[in-house]
Amino acid sequence: MNTDARRRVEALRAEITRHDYRYYVLDDPEIPDAEYDRLMAELKALESAHPQLITSDSPTQRVAGAPSAAFGEVVHAVPMLSLENGFTDEDVAAFDRRARERLGVTEPLWYWAEPKLDGLAMTAIFRNGRLVQAATRGDGVRGEDVTANLRAIRAFPLSLSGDAPRLLEVRGEVFIPLDGFERMNREALARGEKAFVNPRNAAAGSLRQLDPAVTASRPLRVYCYGLGSLEGWEPPPLQSEVLGALKAWGLPICPHAARVRGVEGCIDYYRAMAERRARLTYQIDGVVFKVERLEYQSRLGFISRAPRWALARKFPAEEVLTRVEAIEWQVGRTGAVTPVARLTPKFVGGVTVSNVTLHNFDEVRRKDVRVGDTAVIRRAGDVIPELVRVLPERRPEGTVPVKLPERCPICGSEVIKPEGEAVARCTGGFSCAAQRQEAIRHFASRLAMDIEGLGEKLVEQLVAAGGVRSPADLYTLTVEQLQTLERMGEKSAANLHRAIERSKHTTLPRLLYALGIREVGEATALALARHFGELEPLIEAARSHPERVEEVADVGPVVAAHLHAFFIAPAHRELIDALRASGVTWEPLAVSAAALPLEGQTFVLTGTLPSMTRQEAQAALSALGAKVAASVSRKTRYVIAGADPGSKLEKAHALGIPVLDEAGLRKLLDAHRR
């Protein structure tokens, strides 16, 4: 063994680690970058000449091993909490009052105040001073194992210096400073790649890389702010002293934190940071106050995932002025015609905003937004940018109020906005390129034509290839054509073809529902079929005598107007003719609907309905063949929600399951009872 080489390797490692510490922890580099690079190159050369000298905590070993296929899961022994938010000085005062009352303390409390970094929370475990595991926060209980990636961040030590505890878990925020963010985006654009929208997304994307070499190339930084599990160390009494100890072990902590006294101290600190914010080298979205004394922290404990001993005082959303260059209309998948304001691009709340949705025509009128106006825009945290208001005093001469377009900008069909509704819609349906895909997906869905196996992905391919422009085109597809779709073998193409053929024999209610006429759900389709018996009399009434359509139970002027608009459009008449010509037939009523119309459908009830008990609702649904289940899943047909609904409603929203209130439930029950 070459002892000179060993000594030199150890000296180089110690020196590199010391320069990392001076650079990332003390923010006080001693040597130029080129000198640092020279030390690193010498260490690499020695290690490759003497591979037996390589250790896992050598600075050359930050990126080791091949990229993994996925992140493992880590269960946090001590849950990773989030923070309660405050938005006003009064919120801070109330937080302080509650804390002192609980503790029975009358004199002002000391707080540790620090900037609230806008990055990504992480936890890192050091055993006997060596970094052994790192994880993201995840849901606070379970996170992703990002050990290899945290190791790749030069700003974070692989081992602790001095007398480190047997086990030390530190928590902190991973972020990208603004200058690094700008450089990263310049480089990405130069390579022809997309820029990151903001430093937070860039940090999250950089840490969650399956290849640690990519993480290593990103200008990530870490500031530690707290503790997790500990063994072999009794922390000092104060938060500030804990952070002092972390810093002494070589961990980076935020240099702008301070000890402050009482509410006044907190508010002064907040003001000072708000003023300083624009000059900081990293992005923050508020400040955090933590009760200094650890003993007080443990007496205060936490409620629902947030400690009672900490408060995040958020900065108000940044607002900037810009100019409305144009107001354009976009057509969504469901035909909603939405106004969008094109703006002179401005950097606000961490992103460049060049357009904002104005939601709907009523909103444009309410705010009286006009082309040429000066507008206040803002963006708070993750929230979508919004146009707050326009400044009438800066309005140039000759502007005109915005008008709703009469024709769809995509397909030229009529746009209608029923009385009392905020949303205007294109009546083009599948004949509008913007809506085609969604209309065909709906047509094929289970409660419509029920074409088994024809899901969203396949519809997307069929429409993109241009072969399928209307639902009737589905019936012209051959097995050979289906086989050309992605991941479609001979057998599945034949199965899909059979399912399409099978769907040709359907019922009038299903067909009506499948056409995707606005406001015509299953219940209304059934009621219409019952009333008119056949399609032609319904079309005739809808076109020429909409008042006759209103005779159908639960069909009001809005539904009648939608039916009218649908059936006067020549494209829709052509669709029905084309369906007939391809051999699609429909029976006047669903055969099974006569017996138990809700057979096979699962409902979930949540909250209190205004006038029905849970038992009544359940009995009424069961009488029609429905199943009432306790929890929401993808199979749930409807969630019926009353007052104070629970997490079931959230789950329904998350899964995109339709939600009915009592009126909606009654309508559905009535349609099926008749």
Closest residue to ligand 9MJ: CB criterion: 117
Q: How far is the CB of 210 from ligand 9MJ (least distance, A)?
A: 25
Q: Which is nearer to ligand 9MJ, 222 or 444 (CB)?
A: 222
Q: How far is the CB of 317 from ligand 9MJ (least distance, A)?
A: 18
Of 96, 114, 373, 522, the one binding ligand 9MJ (CB under 6 A) is 114
Q: Are 635 and 602 in contact (CB under 8 A)?
A: yes
Give the interface segment with ligand 9MJ, choosing from 113-121, 267-275, 352-360, 554-562 (CB under 6 A): 113-121
Q: What angle do CA 605, 611, 614 make, to 5 degrees?
A: 30
Would you count residue 122 as binding ligand 9MJ (CB under 6 A)? no
Would you count residue 246 as binding ligand 9MJ (CB under 6 A)? no
E strand spans, 396-463:
415-416, 424-426
Query: For residues 286 and 273, what is the distance between their CA atoms, to the nearest angstrom?
Result: 8
Q: How far is the CB of 29 from ligand 9MJ (least distance, A)?
A: 24
Query: For residues 154 and 21, what is the distance between their CA atoms, to the nearest angstrom?
Result: 10
Q: Is the dihedral of CA 453, 456, 461, 467 positive or negative?
A: positive
Q: Which is nearer to ligand 9MJ, 116 or 379 (CB)?
A: 116
Would you count residue 196 as binding ligand 9MJ (CB under 6 A)? no
- Transcribe 57-97 into DSSP letters: TSGGGSS-SPPPSSPPEEE-SS------EE-SHHHHHHHHH
Q: How far is the CB of 284 from ligand 9MJ (least distance, A)?
A: 7
Query: For residues 562 and 572, what is the distance between their CA atoms, to the nearest angstrom?
Result: 13
Q: Residue 599's closest CA among 625, 632, 571?
A: 625
Segment 385-414, which members bind ligand 9MJ (CB under 6 A)?
none
Q: How far is the CB of 196 from ligand 9MJ (least distance, A)?
A: 19
Q: What angle do CA 377, 382, 385 make, to 5 degrees?
A: 20
Q: How far is the CB of 81 from ligand 9MJ (least distance, A)?
A: 5
What amino acid is encoded at 435 in this protein?
Answer: Q
x/- mask, ligand 9MJ, residues 299-318, rule CB under 6 A, reads: -----------x--------
Q: What is the CA radius of gyration of the chain?
A: 32
Q: Which is nearer to ligand 9MJ, 151 or 313 (CB)?
A: 313
Helix H or strand E encompassing 122: strand 120-127
Would you count residue 81 as binding ligand 9MJ (CB under 6 A)? yes
Would you count residue 377 as binding ligand 9MJ (CB under 6 A)? no
- Transcribe 265-318 into DSSP letters: HHHHHHHHHHHHGGGSSS-EEEEEEEESBHHHHHHH-EETTEETTEEEEEPPPE
Would you count residue 83 as binding ligand 9MJ (CB under 6 A)? yes
x/- mask, ligand 9MJ, residues 202-241, rule CB under 6 A, reads: -----------------------xx---------------
Helix H or strand E encompassing 559: helix 557-568
Q: Which is nearer to ligand 9MJ, 243 or 482 (CB)?
A: 243
Would you count residue 508 as binding ligand 9MJ (CB under 6 A)? no
Q: Which is nearer to ligand 9MJ, 173 or 522 (CB)?
A: 173
Q: Which is nearer to ligand 9MJ, 305 or 531 (CB)?
A: 305
x/- mask, ligand 9MJ, residues 312-351, rule CB under 6 A, reads: ----------------------------------------
Q: Residue 635's closest CA among 651, 621, 618, 646?
A: 651
Of 47, 173, 373, 662, the one binding ligand 9MJ (CB under 6 A) is 173
Cα–chain center distance at 490: 38
Given 44, 116, 457, 627, which residue is catalytic? 116
Q: What angle do CA 390, 392, 394 make, to 5 degrees?
A: 95
Q: Which is nearer to ligand 9MJ, 305 or 504 (CB)?
A: 305
Would you count residue 575 as binding ligand 9MJ (CB under 6 A)? no
Give the interface segment with ligand 9MJ, choosing from 111-119, 344-352, 357-365, 546-554 (CB under 6 A): 111-119
Q: Residue 393's closest CA among 368, 374, 367, 365?
A: 374
Tokens 């140039």 correspond to 396
Would you count residue 430 as binding ligand 9MJ (CB under 6 A)? no
Q: Site for ligand 9MJ (CB under 6 A): how many residues?
A: 10
Tokens 């460049």 correspond to 352
Of 288, 353, 511, 671, the one binding ligand 9MJ (CB under 6 A) is 288
Of 92, 109, 117, 176, the one binding ligand 9MJ (CB under 6 A) is 117
Would you count residue 134 as binding ligand 9MJ (CB under 6 A)? no
Give the interface segment with ligand 9MJ, choosing from 39-47, 112-120, 156-164, 407-415 (CB under 6 A): 112-120
Query: For residues 482 and 380, what is the distance between their CA atoms, to the nearest angstrom?
Result: 47
Helix H or strand E encompassing 330: strand 318-331
Of 19, 116, 370, 442, the one binding ligand 9MJ (CB under 6 A) is 116
Give the interface segment with ligand 9MJ, choosing from 57-65, 114-122, 371-379, 414-422 (CB under 6 A): 114-122
Q: Which is nearer to ligand 9MJ, 137 or 359 (CB)?
A: 137
E strand spans, 524-647:
585-587, 602-606, 627-629, 636-641
Give the interface segment with ligand 9MJ, choosing from 110-118, 195-203, 348-356, 448-456 (CB under 6 A): 110-118
Would you count residue 449 as binding ligand 9MJ (CB under 6 A)? no
Length of the chain in residues, anyone? Answer: 674
Q: How far is the CB of 273 from ligand 9MJ (least distance, A)?
A: 12
Q: Are 524 and 554 in contact (CB under 8 A)?
A: yes
Q: How far is the CB of 287 from ligand 9MJ (least distance, A)?
A: 8
Query: For residues 575 and 430, what is the distance between their CA atoms, to the nearest angstrom?
Result: 9
Query: For residues 590 and 582, what is the distance between their CA atoms, to the nearest angstrom?
Result: 21
Tokens of 456: 């969203």
Instruction: Spell out the residues 6+ positions from residue 545 whose beta carbon is closer than 8 angstroms to its own.
Output: none
Whether residue 314 lies in the annotated active site: no
* Residue 497 Cα distances to 58, 545, 621, angstroms: 61, 39, 35
> Known catalytic residues?
116
User: Could you list the residues that contact ligand 9MJ (CB under 6 A)?
Assistant: 81, 83, 114, 116-117, 173, 225-226, 288, 310
